Structure formats: structure tokens, C-alpha cells
Amino acid sequence: MPTPFLMPALSPTMEEGTLSKWLVKEGDTVSSGDIIAEIETDKATMEVEAVDEGTIGKIVVQEGTENVKVNDTIAIILDDGENANDIDAASMSAATSAPEIPGNMPAAQPTMATKPSFVSVPDIEIPDGTQMVETVVRDALRDAMAEEMRRDEDVFVMGEEVAEYQGAYKVTRDLLQEFGEQRVVDTPITEYGFAGLGVGAGFAGLKPIVEFMTWNFAMQAIDHVINSAAKTRYMSGGQMGCQIVFRGPNAAASRVGAQHSQDYSAWYGNVPGLIVIAPYSAADCKGLLKAAIRNPNPVVFLEHELLYGDKGDVPDMDDFVLPIGKAKVVRDGSDVTISTHSRGVFFALAAAEILADEGISAEVVDLRTLRPLDAETVINSVKKTNRLVTVEEGWAPFGVGSEIGWQVTQHAFDYLDAPPMRVTQEDTPLPYAANLEALSLPNAEKVVAAVKSVMYL
Amino acid sequence: MASADATTKKTNLSATKEELLTYYRDMLLIRRFEEKAGQLYGMGHIGGFCHLYIGQEAVVVGMEAVKQEGDQVITGYRDHGHMLACGMDPKGVMAELTGRVGGLSKGKGGSMHMFSSEKKFYGGHGIVGAQIPLGAGLAFANKYKNNGKVSLTYFGDGASNQGQVFEAMNMAQLWKLPVIFVIENNHYAMGTSVKRAHSETHLYRRGASFGIPGSEVDGMDILAVREAGRAAIEHARTGKGPFVLEIKTYRYRGHSMSDPAKYRTREEVDQVREHSDPIKKCEAYILDGGHATVEDLKAIDKELKQIIKEAADFSLESPEPQLSELYTDIYA
């Protein structure tokens, strides 16, 4: 049967074009790849190639014709043994009816998309009589990795100075001695490269823990964290994922200047496909890092250099694994809710002490996980206290506090007695001078002031 | 160790009848598939970006001929040929191009993003050069598991200028990872020719500063690709570390469907098509060797056209994904 040659779409947006020139005439034979016409689009003049072999039976649209619609028949190509008499009305009309382009037609669909809602899971039960061991945060993190590496041979650690040097912040201390250089891998200074290499190893079934000496350096690697790790499960229709933990210290340390002091909570918290954890206490650091290593998804684990030396009680249990996506009320109160995470918890708890002396009862919620976000715990708290202050070390615009504030106004608007307030880093790169640095960062006094503001005191 | 300046030695390239017919068929399948994809794009059935592999078929088919079961493949966005060469179903690939639920990624990936755990095909990556450390990571896993497998990491001449190429090469050689860096040099990074973008145009030397050997290969000759691929894979599989293959090839079509290709002349393209076409070359091996007749080859072509027609029909009949699929496959 004669084959219609249709006006092609030559770009994702083209709907019509000018057939500027025919390079063949009726009776010419063509084979696949031969240029047969030139077509002008809104962007360029393009050459059009034949796809099928045959003879030009009829030129339907003459050269110079403008506004030729995509998918209109512009010529008829005859197969071997056919001639012009075979071009009948049927083949013409069949050809000129434009195919339905699915993207342009909302097809009837039985199910509307619904976003799955977050279901909170309670913390694990700690059996009565469990001994609590005072542990510094860096060791709690180390213990989590060591335990998981003992449990699963596919877990390994890689990063700069993680092995021989024992970790730039000693978080990987003694891992090399126990697990050897195959599983504790010193990398060159090559963040983009080793982040990608880790993701590739994850595609192949290993469970890498990739340490960034600081999350500031992960800016070099963010493409692999987001484009390669977070999006692949979706892009593959669910058949390929990547069980990987990216971890390291986040946010400001102490007078290390603007390039080493950024808080990336909001950046990663923005990305579907990632799990983002930013714990405060030693116990949470251990229980959540163990959960992160076991989780089949890519996890961004944001630690804090200024917390590495902090002590806290960690339950001495065989398998202390905490649920991801569950906030924790770390101080009960009735007058105001302070929602925070990571080192912000320290400022919030300190502020709560000061406020208690003044007769104000503050409830402190440690978000612990930023994605999936347990907004429910904050909302329930605000329904009780009627006031909200958020605290974070990142910048205010588009930040974690902005998200929490929106969640609360959306779901507990009628409970609010005052507009929520945010305590954040000032909207500046972090300065080096001690006085300016202190001025830029959040602290307990700023939290106290924000609480008083929402209480109209 | 082979010198970084080594080029493919002219060996007596020969193959059996069965091998040649398999290569011919596999290359022609890719070509017919891509021609159909171009046609469906022109009809509006395929949206967005669509990068065709026509002209480069001997590269993946030649490498496929010498890879073993379990060896991995990863590439960039010009990936249809790699998937078909790996044995992925043309119907599933075509239906992914049309964005249908029957596609290999259920319609959620598109032309640039398909994967197959079964066939060890790891994508399908849209950020130029990203597949290179990812491919080194596949090789890292092979070494970690000591499974004897090799990662074939494909990228183009354009990607070979990305910084992460050098980051990945350094680690690959440092740790002696079993990875072949297959540079498909089709001479144009979108519209920029190699000589306008590379201070060193001999891309097989990309690994030279790391001590990675490399060779230059005629990518329009299936048997030359196979020969070079065999040596490179042998090098990697025996623990000697990575190898760079610069496979010189040519893309007949534009960079993507909306490329008017003004950076090269029509004569240049015609010259290659006429005198260096990899399928014609394979055809000559077959006919000159008396392995088959023109009619035999026409019969293969006819059979392939039928497979492609069925793939195209499937890609148009398969429904669009359910709207409920929007929120699936984000997390495990």
C-alpha cells in the first residue's frame, strides 16, 4: 500500500512549519536517510530524511507552502511494484487524519494521584533495666557504623581521611583496624567523583556510607546526590535503586568562614527521593544512623561538628534502631512550641530553661528527620500551646522554618494565637570575625526573644 | 602494561558466518528501531528529547560481542542502541519513548532514562558525564565482590571533557577497577567539533596522566571494535585496571531531533554514509565471504522491520500510566 509521508515535528514544540523546498520530484526513488525536503520551523531550517524506501508517487503539498500542520500528508511514497494509480482516496484520507497525541488529551483515568500521607511510627521500646552508657556523639556515630558493618558485609565506608587518618573528625576511628582497607576506603580529594562512584556501587548492590569531610564540600557532588541517587528509582519505574548514606558535618563550626559554614537542611529537604536526617542527641545519632544504613533509599545524614564532642546516654542494646520520620518532644511545655533540629535543639532547650525561670513553659520538638517530615508532632504540639517558634541554623528564605510555619498555618490555623516566628542565621554569608559570627547565628537569647514576641510580652 | 599511545594493531580481522550474521542483524535492528523512533517523533508520539544512534551501531554491537554475561553497561542519553544490544525488549524501549505504561520505566523515564537489573544495564543518564564515576562504581562493586565482572562505561567525546572523567579515571587506576572507558567519538559534542573543544584531540590519551592505557579504534568496522574490545576487557578482567577505548564513529542524524546540523556539511555526512557505513561494511564481509546472499540479508531486514513494526504498534497501543503512578517509585 502507498505510504503517506507526513509533515514531521522537528522539535518538541513545533506545531506547523513552512515546506520551503522539495529536493525530490515525483518518480524519484528514495531510500532511508535520503534528504527529500527542507522545512522551516520557528527556530531553524531543517532537512527532512526519508524513512522508508520507495518511489515518490505524489507530492501533495507544494514547496513554498506555509503553515503546514504537523502530521499532514506532504507526499506519497510508493513501494516496489506500485504506481500512481495505487494512490487512492482511502490512503490519502487515512494519512491526513492526524494521529492522536496522547500528551494533549486528558484520557479518562480511574484513579487520581494522591500523595501518600506520612504515618508516624513510635520509637522502639527500651526494655526496663537497660543500661544507659554515656557516649559522645562521634562515638555513637562510629558505633552505629561498626555495628552495621559487622552485620552486613555489603556496608562499607569511603571518603577523605576516613581510614589511615581515622577520620578528619575521628568519627571513623578504629574502623580501618577492624574492617580493613577493602571496607574502609580513603579516597582522593575528589567529591564529585567518589560520590558518583559510591552511587554506582549502590546500583550494583553494595551499601556505601559516603563521608563528606563537610557538607560544604558536597556542593561539588550534589549532582550525584540528587540526579543520580535520588531520582533513579523513579526514572526506572521502581526497578533500580541505591541504598546509600551520605554523611558528614553540616552547618557552622567555629570561625571557619563562609565557605565552610553553610546549613544544607533546606536544600536536601526539598528533594523527593531523598531521606534527610539531622539528629541532635547521641542516642538519636546512633539509632538513626543505623536506620539510615539499613534503609533502601538514599539518605542524607546531616551531623554537626560542634555536637561531635557532646555526651549523651545511649541505651546499651543489641540492636538500637530508631524509626526514620519521627519527631520527638524533648521537653514538655504548655505556652509555646519550639520546633527545631540538630544544634538548634541545644539553643531551644537552653532558651526553655531561661523562659522557665520567667514562668513561661516552652515545649521543644526535635524534628530529627526532615524528609519525610513529621509535621504532625509539631501540629499537635501547637494545638496545645497555640504558639510556634522555629529555630534553624540555615537562612530564613525558603527554609525549614518556612515549611514548618506553612504546615502549621495550613493544619492548625484556628489554633494559633500569634503568627509563627522564625529564628535563623541572619541573611548573610557567615562572617569570620567572632563578634559578627555570633551576631549572625541563632542562639538561646534570640529564641527567648522570639518566644516573647509570639507571646506579645 | 600497554603504552598509552598504543593504537589498534592491524590484525587479521575475521569472523565466522554465524558471528557476522548476528552482528549484521543486531546492528540493523538498532538502525531500523532508530529510524522508526525518528518517524514516531516526527508524528508527535515521542516528546521531549530523542537522541538517535544511527551510524554508531558497530560500537555497541562490537563491544557486546566480547562482553560476558554479568558484565555491566552504563551510558549517557544516546542510549537506545545500548539497550537493544544488551537484549532489552524493543517493545519496552519504544513504549518508554512514547511514555506508556508498557515502557521499561513505566513511562516515567523517557528516552534518556531506562534501566534493566536483569540485563545489567544501569542507564540511561541525562547529565553529561555522570555515568563515568557511576560506571567506575559498578566496577568498584565487582572488585569488592571479586566476581570477575567488568563495567563497560560509555560516553561521548563531549563528556570526555567533564572534570568527573578525570576524577573517576584517577580512582579507577588507583584501585585497579575493572572498567572500560568507552569513548564514542562521533566528532561532535552537540554542535561543537572535537577540534574546537579538545586541546588534545587524541581521546584515547585521556587516561595517560593516570597511566591508563588506551587505543584508537575504527568504530565503523564491527570487527575492529570487537578486536579492540576483547583486548581491553581482557586487560580489565585480569586485574590490570581500567582501559580507555576511543572508538571513532559518526552520528548521521542531529544531536537531538531539533538539531538543524549547520555545523557540518551535508557532503561530510554523505561521504561517511556512502563509504564508511558500519552496516554496509558488515554486509560486505558477509557477501565477500560468501556467507549469505543479498536475498538472505533482505529477508533479515524484512524480519527486523516486522519486529520494529510490532514494537511501534505496542508503543502506541500501550496505555499511558495510571495517574496514581505519579506518587509511586519515589521511595522503596
A259 alpha-carbon distance from chain centroid:
22
**pLDDT grade, residue A318 (50/70/90)?**
confident
**pLDDT grade, residue B1 (50/70/90)?**
very low
Which chain B residues touch A115 with a CB distance below 8 Å?
Answer: 327
- Edge-to-edge strands of the sheet including A184-186? A184-186, A155-159, A207-211, A245-249, A299-303, A275-277, A369-371
Give pTM, 2 decimals.
Answer: 0.91
State whether B171 and A190 contact (CB < 8 Å). Answer: yes
Q: Count CB atoms within 10 A of the CB of residue B149.
A: 22
Average pLDDT of the residues in B304-327: 97
User: What percent of chain A is modeled with pLDDT above 70?
Assistant: 92
State whether B328 and A196 contact (CB < 8 Å). Answer: no
Element (H, E) at A156: strand A155-159
Q: Count CB atoms within 10 A of the CB of residue A447.
A: 28
**pLDDT grade, residue A213 (50/70/90)?**
very high
State whether B123 and A114 contact (CB < 8 Å). Answer: no
Helices (H), A207-264: 222-223, 231-235
State whether A237 and B105 contact (CB < 8 Å). Answer: yes
Which region among A55-69, A109-123, B69-83 has the lowest average model confidence (pLDDT)?
A109-123
Q: Is the pLDDT of residue A280 over 60?
A: yes
User: Which of A56-60, A339-343, B250-254 shows the highest mean pLDDT?
Assistant: A339-343
Alpha-carbon distance of A307 to B149, in angstroms, equals 43
Cell 551501531 sits on residue = B57
Cα A224 to Cα A185, A283, B110, B312, distances in angstroms? 19, 30, 19, 34
Q: Which of B122, B141, B327 shows the shortest C-beta gap to A114?
A: B327
Q: Is the pLDDT of residue A137 over 50?
A: yes
Distance from CA of A44 to the nearest CA of B (A): 6
**pLDDT grade, residue A103 (50/70/90)?**
very low
Instruction: Kindly report the average pLDDT of chain A as a whole number.
Output: 91
Query: Could you tell me the end-to-end alpha-carbon distance of chain A, in angstroms, rounded to an integer?
Result: 86
Average pLDDT of the residues in A389-407: 98
Which chain B residues touch A80 with a CB distance below 8 Å?
Answer: none
Average pLDDT of the residues in A326-330: 97
Element (H, E) at B141: helix B131-145
> Catalytic: which of A147, A148, A191, A437?
A191
Question: Is A224 among the residues known to form the active site?
Answer: no
The x, y and z cell numbers of residue B210, run together, are 593516570
Is residue B76 within 8 A of residue B159, CB to CB? The reply is yes
Which region among A146-160, B4-18, B93-107, B176-190 has the lowest average model confidence (pLDDT)?
B4-18
Q: Is the pLDDT of residue B302 over 90?
A: yes
Average pLDDT of the residues in B251-261: 87
Length of chain A as a residue count: 457
Q: Which residues pair with A55 in a beta bridge?
A: A29, A78
User: What percent of chain B is modeled with pLDDT above 90?
Assistant: 93
Distance from CA of B10 to the nearest CA of A (A): 31
Supply the pLDDT for residue B213: 98
Residue A125 or residue A140, greater confidence: A140
Question: Is A191 among the residues known to form the active site?
Answer: yes
Q: Is the pLDDT of residue A107 over 70?
A: no
Alpha-carbon distance of A254 to A306, in angstroms, equals 8
**pLDDT grade, residue A95 (50/70/90)?**
very low
Distance from CA of A108 to the nearest CA of B (A): 10
Instruction: Kindly report the average pLDDT of chain B as a whole number.
Output: 95
Supply the pLDDT for residue A102: 43
The 10s digit of each residue's pLDDT in A259-279 is 999 999 999 999 999 999 999
State whether A236 and B107 contact (CB < 8 Å). Answer: no
Q: DSSP 3-state assignment of A172?
A: coil
Closest to B62 (Cα-Cα) out of B220, B276, B213: B220
Alpha-carbon distance of A291 to A285, in angstroms, equals 10
State whether B125 and A187 contact (CB < 8 Å). Answer: no
Q: Is the pLDDT of residue B269 over 60?
A: yes
CATH 2.70.210.12 fits B22-189+226-254+275-316, yes or no: no
Residue B209 or residue A34, greater confidence: B209
Helices (H), A204-295: 222-223, 231-235, 265-269, 282-294
Who's near A256: CB < 8 A, 6+ residues apart? none
Residue-range domain boundaries for chain B: 22-189+226-254+275-316
The 10s digit of each residue's pLDDT in B71-84 is 999 999 999 999 99
**pLDDT grade, residue B271 (50/70/90)?**
very high
Cα A263 to Cα A119, A427, A433, distances in angstroms? 27, 12, 19
Q: What is the DSSP letter of B116?
A: B
